[in-house]
Structure 1
Amino acid sequence: MKYSTSPPPTPSLINYPRSTSPLPAPANYQATTASAAVKRYKYLRRLFKFNQMDFEFAAWQMVYLFVAPQKVFRNFNYRKHTKSQFARDDPAFLVLLSVWLFLSSICFAVAMGLSWSRVVGFVLFVVFVDFIGAGILVSTIFWYLCNKYLRRDQDLPDVEWGYAFDVHINAFFPPLSLLHCFQIVLFNNLLIHGGFLSCLVSNTFWLASIIYYLYITFLGYSNLPMIQNARVFLLPLPILVVVYLGTVLAGWNLSMMLINFYHYRLL
């Protein structure tokens, strides 16, 4: 199946200043000039300024994270050249992802048959624990491991924490869509009835979701010129396939296990 090779929409001039110079080679990337605290302050300050966000470009990135994720990270190189940082300075992607997570969580909670009071608790838990809390934890772990063990030279610029978080939310979007949205279509008709077919379909969704996450994470860090051996993020794939086959043969429906866990923690 061939995907369109049409170029992405032109980023807003608010977020990407006009530049006529060619992109430099990776070895010539500029060092980040602003401190992490300054970049974080600017990012958070723009979080509620919707008129300054480039939602069209963020939506393009979401589509291509499914069909051609490598194209998304080419833009990070452009940002490094124009803004001296790999991490996003425009929170539009985070805002769209948060809205998508909010809506998909409501649909998932309704499909589970939760009361409206529990729907609120479920959505809050998913947003603040599963997304924000787990995202900060995973990003921090990967940021530390990359700077500690995967940097080519300790004298090179380190990996920005903001970029590690960007890689995580990029990789988080396809699994979220597969498990919270596409799987809902089959939920009442197939997944909750048990049996081999239900287990096979459910666990295949999980396998595809984790593969998406690992592959996009690999693309994100292999895009950095100061990182080497980014293939370590793909090492769990053979183990993942073995675990997948084991859960299917054992009849462990991962979606039902997750639903039971959600019901338990909402008691």
Structure 2
Amino acid sequence: MSSIPLPATQRDCMSAAAKRWKYFRKIFKFEQMDFEFAFWQMLYLFISPQKVYRNFHYRKQTKSQFARDDPAFLLLFAAWLCVTSIGFAIVLKLSFLQFIHFLLYTIFVDCIIIGILVATFFWFILNRYCRKKDEVQDVEWGYTFDVHLNAFFPPLVLLHFFQLFFYNGLISHEWFISRLLGNTFWLVAVLYYIYITFLGYSSLNFLRYTHLVISPIPLVIIFYIVTLVSGFNITHSLMDFYKYRVV
């Protein structure tokens, strides 16, 4: 009996460890990275995030994985963290050593450690409870981490870049307009994160219950209204926290 050849997507399938090794092996080979395409993805995360996830599906068809196999996006993301951290150091009047402390904290705690925790949470929940019945395909951990980076990038630019231009002149005061502007920045950033995360998982047709990702939105809006009424300036409070943890 002649054997039936496996489809290319199964034949070329690698283990998770092999995929990680291939990914990190390229991290210092800049000539092999597509920085132009990574920049395009960052732009479209603001204006049309659906197009970014369409590309993830193309990658699954051609390379047997949803997760990125090119670390260019991660390196550009790290570069943005460095640039925005310089802005924070200027706004908060940090010394050079405090700036280094702040940068390392932002990269390794705010981005990597929290990113790993969030990605692992979604990876476990989605594979355990949200896969359709009798579905063989699972959600890759690398993909959940990519979804987190995608969702984290617009808030990073909004909160750690654009917001800084308004902080000392307006947001840092006790006026209502200060609270309104600062808290609105945070509202838009959180809604961006939730929406892009939802797009990432709802685009996988073998998952169910993905609408639950957007279920916290009413609570976020209620919290936003409460902060305005109660006089709580989110940006001002978190700036104090950022400065406290590096002083």
TM-score normalized with structure 1 length: 0.87
Among 46, 49, 61, the residue aligned to 2:26: 46
CA drift of 1:155 comes to: 4.0
Q: Is the 8 A contact 1:110 1:119 kept in 2?
A: no
In structure 2, relative to structure 1, the CA distance for the partners of 1:197 and 1:39 (3 Å cut) is same
CA drift of 1:46 comes to: 0.5
Residues 22-52 of structure 1: per-residue CA shift (max 9 Å, x gap): xxxxxx9945711000000000000111100
Who is 2:149 aligned against? 169
User: Which sections of structure 2, spanning at least 5 residues, go unmatched?
Assistant: 1-6
User: Which sections of structure 1, spanning at least 5 residues, go unmatched?
Assistant: 1-27
Among 99, 103, 108, the residue aligned to 2:83: 103
Who is 2:213 aligned against? 233
Question: Secondary structure at the residue paired with 1:113?
Answer: coil
Question: Secondary structure at the residue paired with 1:153?
Answer: coil
CA distance in 2: counterparts of 1:231 and 1:58, whole angstroms: 28
Among 162, 187, 192, the residue aligned to 1:212: 192
Q: Is the 8 A contact 2:9 2:63 kept in 1?
A: no
Who is 1:191 aligned against? 171
Alignment of 1:6-21 (within 5 A): none
Q: How many residues align?
A: 240
Overall identity of the aligned pairs, in %: 53
CA distance in 2: counterparts of 1:63 and 1:155, whole angstroms: 34
CA drift of 1:154 comes to: 5.0
Among 66, 72, 84, the residue aligned to 2:52: 72
CA distance in 2: counterparts of 1:117 and 1:192, whole angstroms: 24
Q: Is the 8 A contact 1:167 1:217 kept in 2?
A: yes
Who is 1:265 aligned against? 245
In structure 2, relative to structure 1, the CA distance for the partners of 1:35 and 1:83 (3 Å cut) is same
Stretches of 4+ aligned residues off by more than 3 angstroms = 28-32
Residues 155-207 of structure 1: per-residue CA shift (max 9 Å, x gap): 42110000000000000000000000000111111011221111110000000
* Counterpart code for 1:212: Y
Q: Is the 8 A contact 2:170 2:178 kept in 1?
A: yes
CA drift of 1:228 comes to: 1.1
Who is 1:10 aligned against? none
